[in-house]
Amino acid sequence: MKSGTRSNPAPVASPAKNPPRKRRIGIPLAILAAAAVVPVPAAGADELLHIPSLCPFHRLTGLPCPGCGMTRSLVCLAHGHLQDSVGFHPLGGAVFLALMVLALARLAGHPIPLRSRTINIVALIGLLALVVVWIARLLHWLPAPP
């Protein structure tokens, strides 16, 4: 080697950006499974499993939060009680359907990437729908859940 030149070190392999992960059951499937094992709330019930609402917004203001009744709605849908589900939250069916699509895609080995443009648009539409339902409830155009 000449005295003024430096040798280039061998390139170091960089770790993979997305290392392979073990297959996981997935959050959507876990939510659906939990909804299926929780008993259906009684019509007009304001609690689930004899646990009162833990919503800090409702406890502080006495008003329903945007997602108020969503858990009870999902539980009713998991047991096939569509009418009760809509009574607890009108968007419960849309959330249940979205969870089903995400869970089935994961089970089929083709999980939907949560950072895609389509998911962002669907999430924005869902958020806007949630706000519209909430405002309708606050204005008493839609009934608030029990």
Which pLDDT belongs to residue 126?
94
- Residue 50 dihedral angles phi and psi, to the nearest 5°: 60, 25
User: What is the residue extent of each domain of the chain?
Assistant: 27-39+64-138
pLDDT of residue 22: 46
Count Cβ neighbours within 10 Å for each residue of 106-130 and write b for 16 or more, e otherwise: beeeeeeeeeeeeeeeeeeeeeeeb
- Per-residue pLDDT tens over the stretch 81-133: 888 889 889 999 999 998 888 888 888 888 877 777 888 898 999 999 999 99
What whole-number percentage of the chain has pLDDT above 90? 23
Q: What pTM does this model have?
A: 0.72
* Two tokens, residue 89: 């939250």
Mean pLDDT of the chain: 80
Residues with Cβ within 8 Å of residue 58, at least 6 apart in sequence: 64, 65, 68
Which neighbouring-strand residues pair with 51? Answer: 48
Residue, of 52 and 84, whose pLDDT is higher? 84
Give the confidence band of 19 by pLDDT, cuts at 50, 70, 90: very low
pLDDT of residue 6: 60
Of 112, 89, 88, which Cα lies nearest the Cα of 28? 112
Of 32-36, 41-45, 53-57, 72-76, where does mean pLDDT reach its minimum? 41-45
Q: How far is CA 107 from the centre of its chain?
A: 17
